[in-house]
Amino acid sequence: MSWQVSALLLLGGSTVLLLLGIPVAITFIAVNIVGALLYLGGAVGIEQVVRNSVIAVANFALTPIPLFVLMGEVLFHTGLALKVIEGIERLIKQVPGRLAVVAVVAGTVFSAISGSTIATTAMLGSLMLPVMLARGYNPTMATGPIMAIGAVDMLIPPSALTVLLGSLSGISISRLLIGGVVPGLILSVAFVGYIVTRVLLDPRLAPATPIEPRSGWQKYRLLVLYVLPLISIFVVVIGAMSGGFATPTESAALGAIATIGLAVVYRSLSLAALAQSLKGTVGISAMILFIILGATTFSQILSFSGATDGIVSTILGHRLPPAAIIAGMLLLLIFLGIFVDQVSMMLITLPVFMPVVERLDVDLIWFGVLYLICMQLGLLLPPHGLLLMTMKGVAPPQVTMLHIFRAVTPYIVMSLLLLVAIFIFPWIATWLPAAIG
């Protein structure tokens, strides 16, 4: 069987099943069974698939995923998120689009202490969207910042998807986590700048409302008692990892322990909240690990069939410049983001992309950050962006999908501009990991 037929069967078959709505894990397990029967010797191949699956999910490098998810679950179920939002709101003065700015700043803080983009968007949407709409905000100005900053959660550690990308691609997880910090902060600042400028040009989008004046200790009380201690978790995770004191797994464990410890200190960690947090963590982590179970073997079968070598040789045989090849990969990722979720993107593309990238001898951290931004764009791209669906799920009935599509458009443009900037100036993504060492 030629490598072209193998590629069509494995890559094409998995893509068709995903587009038909078959769950990701089921899709790749089904393709693996077919691949094992065709390329790994029938029953012997099935046994190999089972062994590979056990090895894949027993990988120590994947341990940060449930720990990062647990941090976010504890934050939301204990009510500490509400204190963070209130503390940030007290600090921000009367600026154009003030509540939208509060949403972006609060979302940035949550990105540093939560590993789930969906949880951040759902929480900010359910808490802040009704308030903004009640104060006369246009639905596009109210929903756009919440969705956009939810996607930034993928770039700023802790991020479960970043750990998954590093594990599946072979890129250093710790350096990839650190590499997303600067791009994530750049997007946050750009979002705030856009909101202020847009409302200055059209104040009807976000009418100014009187705020309760606070001074002295009352203004900074929640900042000191809640916001700064929770941000210190981010410092613990990144500091321990970048300083060489702990591996990503150990850093994630420190972060989870610190989050639970603060919840205990604040007397907000009830048995019910802990049970909800653990239940959510088990559900999300099991889903991710089940997907990995099918992904690892899929990559091996694709390589064993000759499809990987054939595709890589064809791409490199055209003797295109490395920049052109990388640009083509990024465009393909953006296109896939319209149709499939982020995990599916990784499972379909990484088995082909990474051999090419390694042969091109480009900076893996640079490529990894570009890949993350493409996945972040996929969360926002109409019509199937995951955060668009999340926002519609928590929004009041008067907020239509048309509002949501219009709201997210300028933030997609800003993310694309950042992608181009990092493509042209790789140091934006690589200097912090290099500086920290």
pLDDT of the residue at 189: 95
pLDDT of the residue at 296: 66
Domain ranges of the chain: 3-436
Per-chain mean pLDDT for the chain: 83
Burial class (CB in 10 A: 0-12, 13-18, 19+), 94: exposed
pLDDT of the residue at 416: 95
CA neighbours closer than 13 Å in the CB half-sphere of residue 310: 14
Q: What is the pTM of this model?
A: 0.81
**Is it the case that residue 418 has pLDDT exceeding 90?**
yes
Rounded-to-integer distance, Cα 391 and Cα 146, Å: 8
Q: What is the mean pLDDT of residues 325-347?
A: 82
pLDDT of the residue at 437: 65
The answer to whether the CB of 171 falls within 8 A of the CB of 346 is no
The full DSSP string for 91-133 is HS-S-TTHHHHHHHHHHHHHHTT---HHHHHHHHHHHHHHHHH
The pLDDT tens digits of the residues spanning 83-125 come to: 777 788 777 777 888 889 988 988 888 777 776 677 778 778 8
Amino acid at 222: L
Phi-psi region of 415 (alpha: psi -120 to 50; beta: other; left: phi over 0): alpha
Q: How far apart are the first and last CA of the chain?
A: 47
Name the one residue in this structure whose structure tokens are 């994947």.
62
Spell out the residues 6+ positions from residue 227 whose beta carbon is closer than 8 angstroms to its own: 83, 84, 87, 88, 109
Rounded-to-integer distance, Cα 196 and Cα 5, Å: 54
Q: What is the mean pLDDT of residues 72-80?
A: 81
> For residue 383, is the peptide bond before it cis, meaning its omega torsion is within 30 degrees of 0?
yes
Phi-psi region of 136 (alpha: psi -120 to 50; beta: other; left: phi over 0): left
Q: Check residues 246 and 256 and name the one with the higher pLDDT.
A: 256
> pLDDT band at 348, cuts 50/70/90?
confident
Record the tokens describing residue 427, joined without a space: 């140091």
Radius of gyration in angstroms for the set of CA atoms belonging to the chain, rounded to a whole number: 22
